[in-house]
Homo-oligomer: A and B are copies of this chain.
Amino acid sequence: MKVAFVGLGVMGYPMAGHLQKAGHDVTVYNRTSARAAAWVDTYAGTHAATPKEAAQGAEMVFVCVGNDDDVRSVVLGEQGVLAGLSKGSIIVDHTTASAHLAVELAAASKTQGVGFLDAPVSGGQAGAENGVLTIMVGGEANDFDRAAPVMAAFGRTVKHMGESGNGQKTKMVNQLFIAGLIQSLSEGIRFAQKSGLDVNEVIDVIKGGAAQSWQLENRGPTMVQGKFDFGFAIDWMRKDLGICFEEADRIGAETPVARLVDQFYAELQAQGHNRDDTSSLIRRL
């Protein structure tokens, strides 16, 4: 299938690569064109000068950029994806962005006969590189049914969550779950260290019980070591939580611990730790 990929960041770069390796004919666009050129060197495929040019002739366009403004620009801009797409094509937005943006862009796309899916991912850089992302998708079922087999190139779990915006809302729930979980791991691990316990032994015994979590098993030992370079940076988490709190205010959902943890992240940002991963909350303790 002829497809395009817009945004070759730490996630998009390997995701686009998986599409090419799966046999698709991929045209890429990236704001920093040197990175797009490097991608073409690695995977073959084609390098376009604008999102519009990348989209021309494509059946599906995948987007994975920074935030709401970036998505709006690469989709709706004069040189944006919609300007290049033909009727019957589909835009799949893998950016973590707001649910209302998804609704807005789905409506704008529909007026041109183009489908739009909000499809944020979880699994991080490693998940993108290994092609085992979890993808939470909002939008029309027939668009999902066409796009899901293509997303399978880089997704292990690809799930339709309902109408436009529901992919984003599901991702927000994911981030709410993680925020307090990591803070609790931080409090427990620091307590264990100050108690003189062998923390790796503590993690080993606890992870078999009711306190078990992916974060405990995977980030617990690296938090003990003080290593915080596992990809998902504080800057990005705060962006996601900001989107989440905006939606929470709209629907009247209380998120006291997530908001407290967000303030802890803000402190770490102010100390210059903004590119450390989310498990670096333990630094504060």
**Assembled-state Cα–Cα distance A211/B127 (Å):** 14
Give the residue of B161, B179, B285 whose beta carbon is less than 8 angstroms from that of A201.
B161
Taking a contact as CB atoms under 8 Å apart, the answer to whether A257 and B183 are in contact is: yes
Q: Which of A194, A201, A213 has the most CB of B within 10 A?
A: A213
> Are B177 and A185 neighbours in the complex by a CB distance under 8 Å?
yes
Q: Which of B123, B204, B214 contacts A213 (CB 8 A)?
A: B214
Bin the interface of chain A by size.
Answer: 35 or more
Q: How far is the CA of A157 from the CA of B180 in the complex (A)?
A: 27
Interface-located stretch among A85-93, A109-117, A248-256: A248-256
Chain B nearest Cβ from A83, distance in angstroms = 32
Tell which of A12-20, A43-51, A143-151, A166-174 binds the partner: A166-174
Contact between chains at B253 and A205 (CB < 8 Å): no
Complex CA distance for A243 and B182, rounded to whole angstroms: 22
Decide if A162 touches B197 in the complex (CB within 8 Å).
Answer: yes
Q: Which residue on chain B has the smallest CB distance to residue A247? A: B195
- In the assembled complex, which residues on chain B have CB atoms less than 8 Å from the CB atom of A205? 134, 136, 157, 159, 161, 170
B122→A209 contact, CB < 8 A: yes
B-contacting residues, A18-49, CB 8 Å: none
A189–B169 Cα gap in the complex (Å)?
A: 11
Chain A to chain B contacts (Cβ below 8 Å), 8 pairs: A159-B204, A174-B210, A177-B211, A180-B184, A184-B257, A191-B248, A191-B251, A253-B285
